[in-house]
Structure 1
Amino acid sequence: MLDRAAIRRSFAAAADQYDAFAFLQREVGTRMLERLDYILAEPKVILDLGAGTGEHTAALAKRYPRALTYGLDLAEPMLKKMRKRSSWRRPLRPVCADLQALPFADNSVDLIFSSLAMQWCEELEKAFTEFRRVLRPGGFILFSTFGPDTLTELRQSWAAVDTKEHVHNFIDMHIVGDAMLQAGLAEPVMDVENLTLTYNKVHDLMRELKGIGAHNVAHDRPRGLTGRQRLQAFEQAYEKFRCDGVLPASYEVVYGHAWAPVDEQTVSVSIESLKRT
């Protein structure tokens, strides 16, 4: 289980430097926005879940200037950064809340956009049920999250040092797809993309993860400071992955979208039919 209070504290502490380190988050969000080119819809109410500092919230407001655009995040300091992106031409509406308990009325949202936030949700079916509740019939969700091959080098390097959980456990794409179906969302489509970032030193990777607030927030995570000897052993283990003079960090990025059914009968789709490329 994830520690929701720890998630809030971690991202609140990272708010001031988040944009300086969120290279991958910015790229994935941009790729998600490009996917909207293929969806013929003009949403009137947009909800960006896990909006962070609001970079993609602002992009959504620019794309759909007639829509009401809300940016929801668990950390209030992130929303303070978002407010600075708002203008009278394209006002952004920050909401401090948990994406697993949305403070929105039933059938009130046309588009839910969520880039790299779902991995912090331990009750996926509960979250998708909330999304289904607030979506209007014919509304849709577009999201990205991380799959289990994410940060595999980091995970393996810590495993060479001890048996404690140092890296977040990311959920398989098919489990995510099952949760959408169980929540009553229609026509789910999913695909996966593997990206790799490179670093000169493992310290640079750790600094970046800290800069965006991506700590291990499991309830049973290791507590206290890591000893120098164990840290050196971890760094030595990671060196085994060095290739062409740099250290890789792998990310399995899972994309998904689905629709709120236009009638009361939920469309049934088998998990085998989910698209994977």
Structure 2
Amino acid sequence: MDPLFDPRHVRRAFSRAAAGYDAAAALQAEVRTRLLESLDYLDDRAPLVVLDVGSGTGHAAAAMKKRWPKAQVLALDLASPMLRQAKKQAGWWKPFHRVCADARALPLAEGSVDVVFSNLCLQWVEDLPAVFAGFRRVLRPGGLLLCSSFGPETLGELRAAFAQADAAPHVSPFASIAQFGDALVAAGFRDPVLDRDQFTLTYPDLPALMRELRAIGATNALATRRRSLTGRARFAAAAEAYEPLRDASGRLPSSWEVIYAQAWAPAPGAPIREDGHEIAAVPLSQIPIRRRSP
């Protein structure tokens, strides 16, 4: 099967975005804050080793080092320029280690991590069960996984506008909350809890939205994407298709669906399935949906 995403493109896009990422990533910062609040589920337990997968510029790693000064905190990212930016967060008072590696092949020993944290990284990974299996491998029994990802409603307006102008895809497809839950179950995680937020950001025009997407590295990473530049005629057609969506203040809306997941690594030797049945289930009817605008 041909790959869905081009990992080299993902690495290049985030490498180019590293220097100006924080200035443009307001939504990412808000989601990070909400995900960090979920660390309270550890109660008074202090982890020894914490892994931040897709750490970007290192703000979450720095926050966890501040929360647990005695813990070994590892910031792991595919793009080395992001890790160079992360060094600015790792002062002598809150040092953490930086590792350039792929989330799909974690260079850590089995059962060596107490917490795996991953904020808005997994939307660039097509095989979620395999990645979650890797997370389970490195987590100690009873370890905590906290992660977030963009859902399929993200950039729906942009997707629809370009679909009227061009047959080639311009927006990456993202896994649904049901697929997220299924992947956690398939990897053997216990007691998964999922939640989602719907954010709406607004922009003066389509070029402003596209500039922000480039600034945060969120460009089209599909392996089947058009390799040439989007022509002026196609871009103008997409902009025209977007125009009717302007809100009462005259700005263009952009939807961002964020999925959050929390789960626990099972006891040693726990099977992924028991008696042919899944060891955990995610009843979608019980997943709350919060709709907020930052």
**Structure 2 length-normalised TM:** 0.91
Q: Hey, what does 2:156 align to over in structure 1?
A: 152
Letter in 1 for 2:267: V
Determine whether 1:210 maps to 2:214.
yes
Residues 35-54 of structure 1: matches in 2 within 5 Å?
A: 35-40=38-43, 41-54=45-58
**2:15 equivalent among 12, 18, 22:** 12
Determine whether 1:77 maps to 2:86.
no
Question: 5+ residue gaps in structure 1?
Answer: none
Pairwise CA distance, 1:182 = 0.8
**2:280 equivalent among 261, 265, 269:** 269
Question: 5+ residue gaps in structure 2?
Answer: 273-278, 289-294
User: 1:156 aligns to what SS in structure 2?
Assistant: helix
1:27-73 Cα deviation digits (max 9, x unpaired): 10011111222431321100001000111111111111111001000
User: C-alpha separation between the residues in 2 aligned to 1:90 and 1:22?
Assistant: 23
Task: Out of 145-154 and 261-270, give the one that drifted further.
Answer: 261-270
User: C-alpha separation between the residues in 1 aligned to 2:129 and 2:73?
Assistant: 25
Pairwise CA distance, 1:190 = 0.4
User: C-alpha separation between the residues in 2 aligned to 1:233 and 1:51?
Assistant: 37
1:96-147 Cα deviation digits (max 9, x unpaired): 0000100000000000000000101111111000000000011010000011
User: C-alpha separation between the residues in 2 aligned to 1:234 and 1:276?
Assistant: 34
Q: Which runs of 4+ in 1 moved over 2 A?
A: 262-267, 270-275
Letter in 1 for 2:8: A
Task: Out of 36-45 and 19-28, give the one that drifted further.
Answer: 36-45
User: C-alpha separation between the residues in 1 aligned to 2:166 and 2:98?
Assistant: 41
Pairwise CA distance, 1:271 = 3.4
Q: Hey, what does 1:253 align to over in structure 2?
A: 258
Pairwise CA distance, 1:92 = 1.3
User: C-alpha separation between the residues in 1 aligned to 2:12 and 2:205?
Assistant: 27
User: 1:90 aligns to what SS in structure 2?
Assistant: coil
Determine whether 1:177 maps to 2:181.
yes
Letter in 1 for 2:260: Y
The percentage of aligned residue pairs carrying the same residue is: 48
User: 2:220 aligns to what SS in structure 1?
Assistant: coil
1:180-231 Cα deviation digits (max 9, x unpaired): 1111111111011111111111211111000011111111001111111111
Task: Out of 175-184 and 33-42, give the one that drifted further.
Answer: 33-42
User: C-alpha separation between the residues in 1 aligned to 2:18 and 2:193?
Assistant: 32
Residues 122-133 of structure 1: matches in 2 within 5 Å?
A: 122-133=126-137
Residues 27-176 of structure 1: matches in 2 within 5 Å?
A: 27-40=30-43, 41-176=45-180
Letter in 2 for 1:64: W
User: C-alpha separation between the residues in 2 aligned to 1:39 and 1:249?
Assistant: 34
Q: Hey, what does 2:275 align to over in structure 1?
A: none
Q: Hey, what does 1:192 align to over in structure 2?
A: 196
User: C-alpha separation between the residues in 2 aligned to 1:88 and 1:234?
Assistant: 49
User: C-alpha separation between the residues in 1 aligned to 2:29 and 2:209?
Assistant: 16
Q: Hey, what does 1:24 align to over in structure 2?
A: 27
User: C-alpha separation between the residues in 2 aligned to 1:56 and 1:184?
Assistant: 26
Q: CA RMSD in A?
A: 1.3
Is the 1:198–1:248 Cα contact (8 Å) retained in structure 2? yes
